[in-house]
Amino acid sequence: LGLEQSAIDVLEKTRMAKGKNYGPGKAANSGGVTVSGLEMAQNSTSTT
């Protein structure tokens, strides 16, 4: 998920101007994917 220097410069300018951080979509979504995997594992071992 590396970025070229020009992309880093754009993100840094936005962060400084608006006080917001941006990240690549794949990295930002990885937490949701991880939790979904944990939920699936939990559901497969539960009994009703």
Domain holding 15, by residue range, is 5-45
The reported pTM is 0.43
How many angstroms separate the Cα of 19 from the Cα of each of 12, 22, 27?
A: 10, 10, 20
Count of domains for the chain: 1
Nearest to 8 by CA among 23, 29, 28: 23
Judge contact between 31 and 5, C-beta under 8 A.
no
pLDDT attached to residue 48: 58
Each residue's pLDDT tens digit, 1-48? 578 999 889 889 988 999 887 777 777 788 888 899 999 998 988 765
pLDDT attached to residue 4: 92
pLDDT attached to residue 39: 92
- Residue spans of alpha helices (H) in 1-48: 5-18, 25-45
pLDDT attached to residue 47: 62
pLDDT attached to residue 17: 92
